[in-house]
Structure 1
Amino acid sequence: MARLIFRNARLFDGRSDRCESAMNVLVEGDRIQQVSSAPIIADGATVIDVGGRTLMPGMIDAHVHAFFSDISVQKVEQFGESYRTAHAARMLGHALKCGFTTVRDTGGGNYGLARALADGLIQGPRFFYSGKVLSMTGGHGEIRDIWERPRYESICSCAGTVFSALGVIADGIYDCVKATREELRQGAHFIKIMGSGGVASPTDPIWMNQYREDEIRAIVNECVERRTYATAHCHPAAAVRRCVEFGVRCIEHGTLMDAETADFVADRGAYVVPTLIILEQLVELGRKMGFPPQNQQKAEAAWSGAIEGLRHMRAAGVKVCFGTDLLGDLYKHQCREITLRSEVFTAIEILHQLTSIPAEMMMLEGQIGCISEGAFADLLVVDGDPLQDVSLLAADGAYLRTILRNGELIKHVD
């Protein structure tokens, strides 16, 4: 088993608000075995002298879509599985080079891609996925335009469920439970539902609440029985509140959060994964990239309230995670989300959003997003102090001297 010793590190463990100087960390295989202020000696170990630089956990992007190869949901479907997979390999490789050692795919990711990453067929971060997103007919998971008639085949002859590459249409308790069980059967780490209208879908207004209470509670119950959780796509405050009230653990986006709803979310201990960068980029580049006018209008409406929503979350003490939601070629802007959050949050708050908070949300506390004995060996050596200057992490990996993922050296500069 390979051994690595990181010596003389200024250590940020992902959980605290400060760094410890002159620390040493022993990695054996894929795990951290020892964290100590005293010198560590291990036979056959390779020693990396950090030289007083910052050693921190690998970053977590808690909202990606690896297979979303275009900003048009129709094109994603039309280009086919091979094209989507090639895009995923490129996007995930970029994420790892930027220091994201874990990503959470919130719609479309599957066992095949997770296995390819685990087996080293492609290089990328640790990969957790929800499988296909669950949506009601006419909801945010629909890719059919207003003039189109139903055209998808059923999953089986006994069910009315229809599906695309990224989502499942399921209506009523029976179909919602069946679709949830099917995604969990295929290895989904959690389940995502569409709890409100969205930007990229063609027919639903963004203010629209989606799924009935009984449908949401049925899905949540299936997740609880599997010892996992449900998350919900929500933009408006009304959708956020009802989804949290009905048992959803996490909210994706939460863009139009108001103060009252933020207080409610915080009191319930739910999590939110804001995704500012996708909205900024769609507002700036959507028209040039062929984003339909009706979708462009929704993007602009969501972006207009996004920063204010963050301020409400911060004031209420909501547990906020880092996420990006970038589509197609926009994946290159992943690190800019850090810059956008700096308008509202401090450097240490953003660092927690990148590490320990999403780990806790994903039910992986103590395994990822931290430097502690027994955790996975996902580590970064930063040339500088990100607790004082978080922009060091927003430079597409330029200030990362070392990237360690699962005990494997991805990058190392002496």
Structure 2
Amino acid sequence: MSQILFRNARILDPARDELLEGHELLIEGGTIRELSEGPIRAASAEVIDCAGRVLMPGLIDCHVHVVLSEVSIPRLESIPLTLMTARAMTLMKGMIDRGFTTVRDTGGADWGLKAAVDQGLIPGPRLFIAGRAIGPTGGHSDPRRRTDHGVRCHCCNAMAFTMAVADGIAEVQKAVREEMRQGCDQVKIMMSGGVASPYDPLDSLQFSEGEVRAAVEEAHAFGRYVCAHAYTPEAIERAARCGVRTIEHGNLIDEPRARMMAERGMFLVPNLIAYYAMRERAAEFGMDATMLEKNELVIDGGLRSLEICRRHGVEIAFGSDLLGQLQADQSREFALRAQVMAPIEIIRSATLVGARVLRQEGRLGCLDPGAHADLLLVDGDPLADLAVLSGQGERLAMIMKGGAFHKFRLN
């Protein structure tokens, strides 16, 4: 089995507060074999001189939508599955180019895309998929126009891949079981109104406690968990009481609900850049005034939600939740969080915490022996300047996933 030895690198181990000097890292095949503070003997290994660059784990984004290639989601109804897939390929390549070697898709990506990446057919990050996001009639996952009546058409378009509607315990059970049958890693449910949907108020409560518990029980029966789209304190409390594991967004959370989340070991996955990018550019891509007005209601709460959850010890993962043409802004999330979080906290959110969300501790987001060899070689020190992780990966001299080079430019 081939070996690669990294020498003359400064090691950024997210479990530590400072860079490690004078260490070497050996990978064998697709995994990390050894991290040592002294020379590693590996006579047959290919040796890479890192020239003092920072070597760190690949990044994890816990909230993406690789098939949502339009900012205005209703436009997906006119996108055939072939074009949807081609666009997803471009979006996923952009993500790994920015150093995100693993992403959790929270609505849209299916087992086919995941298999295509795993089989090396298309370049992209590791995919952890939720399939269709499930919500009630009239909720955040109901894309029908008000002139549409009855059951929505399940035609072969990109919209059909992103959302499912279920009402009542029996329908929720069936919808969750269907996503499990389709190989999903987690279940996504809608528990409050959303920004990118035209008719549901942000403070609407979506899904009853019985429906939420049904989703959680079915997910647990398959060894999976539920992540919930929720903005308001009431929706977050209902999610916490019913066994939901992660809260997506959470902008309007308050102190009591943050305590509930901490007591139950729940995770928060904020997506600050989504709101700023929508404020700046969404109108030009067709997002209507109603949605943009809702965006303004949650944008100021984003940083405040981080402060509240940090105070109560809620683990915070990295997420972006960008749509369509805005997805190139993914790495701007680092700078936004830096207003209230230290660089090492933000890096941990995109490595160690993300791995815990995915239940991949010791395998992703770390430099432990036995972990996947998902590595970045950075021109600059992210602990001193997070801007080196921004943009489109210009400061990344090397990107490796599973021991294979996605990018290698050590000039």
TM-score (norm 1): 0.95
C-alpha contact (below 8 Å) 1:144/1:202 kept by paired residues? no
CA distance in 1, matches of 2:12, 2:81: 40
Q: Secondary structure at the match of 2:335?
A: helix
What's the offset of the Cα at 1:93?
Answer: 0.5
CA distance in 2, matches of 1:247, 1:357: 19
Q: Which residue of 1 aligns with 2:104?
A: 104
What's the offset of the Cα at 1:9?
Answer: 2.3
C-alpha contact (below 8 Å) 2:109/2:161 kept by paired residues? no
What's the offset of the Cα at 1:389?
Answer: 1.4
The residue correspondences of 1:298-317 to structure 2 (distance < 5 A) are 298-317=294-313
Q: Which residue of 2 aligns with 1:31?
A: 31
Q: Which residue of 2 aligns with 1:95?
A: 95
Spell out, residue by residue over 1:306-360, the C-alpha distance to the aligned partner (whole angstroms, 9 max, x if none).
Answer: 2222221222221000010111110110111111111111101101011000101
What's the offset of the Cα at 1:233?
Answer: 0.4
C-alpha contact (below 8 Å) 1:145/1:202 kept by paired residues? no
What's the offset of the Cα at 1:259?
Answer: 2.2
Q: Which residue of 2 aligns with 1:146?
A: 146
Spell out, residue by residue over 1:26-65, the C-alpha distance to the aligned partner (whole angstroms, 9 max, x if none).
Answer: 1111111111112122243111112332111000011000
CA 1:154–1:350 in structure 2 vs 1: closer, same or farther (change >3 Å)?
Answer: closer
The reply to whether residue 357 of structure 1 matches residue 353 of structure 2 is yes
Q: Aligned letter for 2:226? A: A
One of 191, 201, 204 as aligned partner of 1:205? 201
CA distance in 1, matches of 2:167, 2:317: 30
Greater mean deviation of Cα atoms: 121-130 or 284-293: 284-293
Q: Aligned letter for 2:230? A: C
CA distance in 2, matches of 1:146, 1:219: 27
The reply to whether residue 331 of structure 1 matches residue 327 of structure 2 is yes
**Over 3 Å off, 4+ runs:** none
Q: Secondary structure at the match of 2:38?
A: coil
Q: Secondary structure at the match of 1:256?
A: coil
What's the offset of the Cα at 1:13?
Answer: 2.0
Q: Which residue of 1 aligns with 2:126?
A: 126
Q: Aligned letter for 1:355? A: T
Q: Aligned letter for 2:345? A: E
CA distance in 2, matches of 1:15, 1:247: 28
Identical aligned residues as a percent: 41
CA distance in 2, matches of 1:368, 1:214: 35
What's the offset of the Cα at 1:153?
Answer: 5.3
Q: Secondary structure at the match of 1:410?
A: strand
Structure 1: tracts of 5 or more residues without a match: 156-162
CA distance in 1, matches of 2:154, 2:120: 34
The residue correspondences of 1:197-346 to structure 2 (distance < 5 A) are 197-346=193-342
Structure 2: tracts of 5 or more residues without a match: none
C-alpha contact (below 8 Å) 1:77/1:165 kept by paired residues? no
Q: Aligned letter for 1:356? A: L
Q: Aligned letter for 1:133? A: A
C-alpha contact (below 8 Å) 2:144/2:152 kept by paired residues? no
Q: CA RMSD in A?
A: 1.5
Q: Which residue of 2 aligns with 1:116?
A: 116
C-alpha contact (below 8 Å) 2:14/2:344 kept by paired residues? no
Spell out, residue by residue over 1:12-33, the C-alpha distance to the aligned partner (whole angstroms, 9 max, x if none).
Answer: 2222222221111111111111
CA distance in 2, matches of 1:63, 1:355: 13
Q: Which residue of 1 aligns with 2:177?
A: 181
C-alpha contact (below 8 Å) 2:186/2:227 kept by paired residues? yes
Spell out, residue by residue over 1:235-281, the C-alpha distance to the aligned partner (whole angstroms, 9 max, x if none).
Answer: 11211121022100001111112222222212221001100111111
CA distance in 1, matches of 2:165, 2:9: 50
TM-score (norm 2): 0.96
What's the offset of the Cα at 1:151?
Answer: 4.5
